[in-house]
Amino acid sequence: MTDEPLRIGALGYRFMGEAHANALQRLPTFFPSAPETELSVLVGRDEEALAAAADRLGFERTATDWREVVETVDVFYNLGPNHLHVEPTVAALEADTHVLCEKPLAPTLEGARRVRGAAGDSDAVAGVAFNYRFLPATQYARRLIAAGELGEIRQVRGRYLQDWLSDPTAPWTWRTDAERAGSGALGDLGAHTFDLVRFLVGDRTGPIERVSGHLRTFTEERPVEEGDPETRPVTVDDAYSAQVAFANGAMGTLEASRVAEGHHNDHTVAIHGTAGSLEFSLERLNELRVQTGEARGYETVLVTDESDPYVDHWWPPGHVLGWEHAFVHENYEFLSAVAAEESFAPSVADGVAVQRLLDAVERADERGEWVRVDGE
């Protein structure tokens, strides 16, 4: 790589576009060793809204066609809806443009495999944006598990509960459409849980080999807009649950819902082993509940010491971090990998592995029985 700033192109300027732009703007202050970047071009369809977003987020120019962008930038951020994850990502990789794609890697396993093929033929660094890997508490949890502090892993529990679709009159969005999203709570939320479980325990349990699956849509159609009598069908799940069997004999139960009243963003993962247990909750993301050794119960560890992952870049000990900081850490790691021309994790292979699990849960639901996870 040259010493010139990395030219950044980004597709998407709403939720994830804002999260990543915010992270990129914070990097020079809090991670001064991060590669220098230039927010070059922001891509979207609505020219007026796009121009306003580019001005607000700090991008130099705009474009309405990602095809005109992927070969003109050094790094391409694919932050669009799920149905736009495959084509732009493949095109960027074919142009040897480094790419970070938001999760899930694709709406379908077939699409994820297409991205994997393009990544294998490309010289570019590619990754999937599973940002919860980059919280200090989850990094700390991984270290404890890897060091054997919990002993042999026996049970894994994961849940991701939201309530933004609890109201049956909540409007239809692309996230409720199978053509655009692939799946509902399963792909939107379950992808995060499957990846975090793989990240935390995969080295000690081996892969998930078999899954069961149960998907349910509670509201079959939704208004096109709030208060609109016209409706569109909901073609994805509102909630899913799955049992999983790991290669080492460990067992797990995972679930997610977008209609769990009273839960705004409750992502919890609990790990139980022969020597201890731990639990992480996104709603208390600076804390890790840990039970090891002869302790009679859980201890709540505040993961904000200077020796904890990433914390030395921020505030004095005890001054907590927030959800957005995971994106800063994620972007630091990704751009550092780009500058060093090294691989990044979570990789495209990790994205495909998660997609295989999502696909297996859907197949298990369709068949009403346990199924083996495609190992290809």
Confirm whether 328 is domain-assigned: no
Nearest residue to 44 via CA among 66, 28, 21, 29? 66
Domain check: are 286 and 236 in the same one? Answer: yes
Q: Which helix (H) or strand (E) holds 201?
A: helix 191-205
Within 13 Å and on the Cβ side, how many CA atoms surround 82? 28
CA dist 39 and 10 (Å) reads: 8
Return the closest-CA partner of residue 42 out of 80, 82, 93.
80
Domain assignment of residue 335, yes or no: no
Whether residue 142 sits in one domain with residue 117: no
The tokens of 333 are what?
Answer: 């790691």
Q: Are residues 160 and 196 in the same domain?
A: yes
Same domain, 93 and 81: yes
> Domain with 116 in it: what CATH number?
3.40.50.720
What pLDDT score was predicted for residue 376?
Answer: 62
Counting the structural domains of the chain, the total is 2
Structural domain including 154 reads 136-321+347-372
Q: Which two tokens stand for residue 15?
A: 């939720």
pLDDT at 176: 97
- Which of 83, 116, 132 is a domain's end point? 132
Tokens of 360: 């297996």
264 lies in a domain? yes
Same domain, 263 and 123: no
In the chain, which stretches have pLDDT less than 50? none
C-alpha to C-alpha distance for 102 and 107, rounded to whole angstroms: 12
pLDDT confidence of residue 2: 59
pLDDT at position 34 is 98
Same domain for 165 and 126, yes or no, is no
